[in-house]
Structure 1
Amino acid sequence: MRYNTLKLLIILFIGIGNCSAQLSDLAKIDYTRLPKGNSDVGYDRLRGLFNYPIKVNEGSFFLVGLDYSKIELSFDSGIEDFDINTIEDFQLLDLNIGYTFKMNENWRFGARFTPGFSSNLVKNLSFEDAVFSGDIVFIKDKRHDDKVAKPYQLILGVSYSGNRGIPFPLPFISYYRKFHPNWSYKLGVPKSNLQYHLSKKSRFKLVAELDGFTSNIQDGLLVNSDEIADKINMSIIIGGLRYEYKFTDHLELYLNVSNILNSSATLKDRKNNSIISVNKNNTYYFRSGIRFKI
């Protein structure tokens, strides 16, 4: 019981980092690899994201875009509890619809609604494949204010994601401060990091964050000859080193090399009850990509 409570708290305080990233990223392509190692499942994800801002008036924008992921799971061939071929490939597609405007000199409002689907796609899409997400945030950004001695950014709000596997909204809090010409930190709900600014173009980060997905299994999956799994959930909590290099103020290359702090791969029924968990003694996590951000 204490372990489950601790795990939920970790997810609450680390695991909803997509909110701020998706609100600021205009385009992104990245690749994630979680080698199988001594576990029974490995994880590969190719992701592409594109958002297009439409100016409404001074300081106000609509944002429309797509976020697509192709996920491949590599199971140990010795697994006999279920047919591994049925759940090796998943596809996720989200439609991003956002709006942001400047409330006053200090605060900006942002909202995002994201309908989409997450499925193994062995047949045509249905409503069971649908997922819905949304965010409402208030942003106070003083990172580029010459009147502020120590630049900072504060984001407050609420976030809900059908892909997260938690069926209720979660608070969203993020506080960034640059306390030294070469050092800054970010604390909060989505993710925490400590940054060393090597130069104006490159920096290193010590990071802790969550990756993973939840997806529908079309037609269900027979488990242990007597139970049907309708969903799969994979959660990965990582801690490690991230390097970022800026080609311009908005175009950035990044590379993550991390250790797995906790991971789970679980098959669930339609009521979200766990049926079976797969052995997940993964050790390393690699992620790289390039993004164009606000």
Structure 2
Amino acid sequence: MQKLNLKNFLSIAILIISSIQLSAQMNEDLGFLTFSFSPLGSDNIEYRSTDMGGSIPMRIQKGVLISSLNYSFTNIKVDNPNLEYSASELEHIHSLSYALSYIHPLENNWKLLGRGGLMAVSNFSSALTADDLFLNGTLLLIKRLQKEEKLSVLSFGGGYATLAGKPMFFPYINYFKQSSRHWSYNLGFPQAFLRYHFSPHTRLSLNASINGLYANFSKPIVVDVVGLNETAKKLSFRTGFLGIEYQNQLGKYWNLFLKAEYAFWGDYMLEDNFENDIFKQDVSKGLYFTTGMKLNVLRNKTRGTKPRTESN
């Protein structure tokens, strides 16, 4: 294995960000720490989460291998004394994930991106079991188009993940474009945005995205369904967001971001081992707030005087 040349890797790192954003599991940030919070709403649900992780890139012959490790803690507090189940089981959801990604150059400026990962997601009220583990993977073709100083990236493929709150296969298509020095946009799934670059260090975005959580309960939850006791083993939580995000560079390598989002849709479900819904509740429309820091040597070391062109 050779040491990664930062300038050579920058273009590949941009493609990673432009082409896939799966719950921050793949990005060019060498490290990150974020906090999210939604106050108690009319649905009597309060949501909090903390996410942290990092990635290590290495060049292998013509390609780049990226090893990523992430941890998140989610607290979903349901303040409703009339619930048909014990809501305390939702208050301590842990997720530990490892992913290995490889980007291989092809002819005519195409690249192939493959990614595989393993996640352990549970409230861990007892020892780790096979039911706590979830596999995910992605395979993408990426085409980078450069006209003068205007970057555009097209990517498409498919994957398997719990992106929308359930493990499922999904098609993937995404288009990113830096249309001018001050404007860029991204069209695709799971995130779209329109971004204005005030300077190389400061930018403001309008975002649309979805977020999902899928977890196993170490011990089954008994749910009273019309007088009958059903057993829930899985939690599915999903929301759709529209929001605004501010990002600013602090020093050489640190980036601060602040985000306010409006959840226009959402629900959470308790499921049995066969993914049949036992209990379902809509999540009320409301505000979510997120703030965090990102450490990135690549981005700021090679930025120069131009605004960033990646979609992260």
Aligned length: 275
Amino acid at match of 2:172: F
2:73 to 70, 73, 95: 70
Secondary structure of 2:88's partner? Answer: helix
Structure-2 residue corresponding to 1:5 = none
Structure 2 residues without counterparts, runs of 5 or longer = 1-19, 299-312
The Cα offsets for residues 196-216 of structure 1, whole Å up to 9 and x where unpaired, read as: 111111111110001230100
Q: Does structure 1 conserve the Cα–Cα contact (< 8 Å) formed by 2:210 and 2:241?
A: yes
Shift of the alpha carbon at 1:248?
6.7
Preserved contact between residue 45 and residue 79 of structure 2 (Cα < 8 Å):
yes
Query: Equivalent residue for 1:38?
Result: 42
Distance 1:246 1:156, change over 3 A: farther
Instruction: Give the distance between the partners of 2:69 and 2:99, measured in 1 at CA.
Output: 6
Alignment of 1:80-119 (within 5 A): 80-104=83-107, 106-119=109-122
Measured in 2, the distance between the counterparts of 1:140 and 1:24 equals 18
Q: Which residue of the partner structure matches residue 7 of structure 1? A: none
Following the alignment from structure 1 to structure 2, what is the Cα–Cα distance between the partners of residues 137 and 249? 32
1:254 is matched with: 257
Residues 154, 176 of structure 1: 8 Å contact kept: yes
Q: Distance in 2 between matches of 1:41 and 1:252?
A: 31
Q: In structure 2, do the counterparts of structure 1 residues 173 and 208 end up closer, same or farther at CA, with 3 Å as the change threshold?
A: same
Partner Cα separation in structure 1 for residue 96 and residue 25 of structure 2:
17
Q: CA deviation at 1:78?
A: 1.7
- Which of 222, 227, 230 aligns to 2:230? It is 227
Q: Is the Cα–Cα contact under 8 Å of residues 131 and 163 in structure 1 kept in the other structure?
A: no
What is the TM-score when the length of structure 2 is the normalising length? 0.81
- Residue 19 of structure 1, CA deviation: 6.8
Q: Distance in 2 between matches of 1:182 and 1:163?
A: 31
Aligned to 2:201: 201
| Runs of at least 5 residues in structure 1 that lack an aligned partner in the other structure | 1-15
Identity of aligned residues (%): 23
Following superposition, the deviation at residue 108 of structure 1 comes to 2.0
Q: Name 1:10's counterpart in structure 2.
A: none
What's the TM-score, normalizing by structure 1? 0.86
**C-alpha RMSD of the superposition:** 2.2
| C-alpha distance in structure 2 between counterparts of 1:282 and 1:168, whole Å | 25
Q: What displacement does 1:155 show? A: 1.7
- Counterparts of 1:1-294 in structure 2 under 5 Å? 17-18=21-22, 22-57=26-61, 59-104=62-107, 106-142=109-145, 145=146, 147-148=147-148, 150-162=150-162, 164-224=164-224, 225-247=228-250, 251-293=254-296
Shift of 1:292: 3.4
1:190-235 deviation line (CA, Å, top 9, x unaligned) = 2111111111111111100012301001221000151111111110
What does residue 308 of structure 2 align with?
none
Residue range with higher mean Cα deviation, 281-290 or 164-173: 164-173
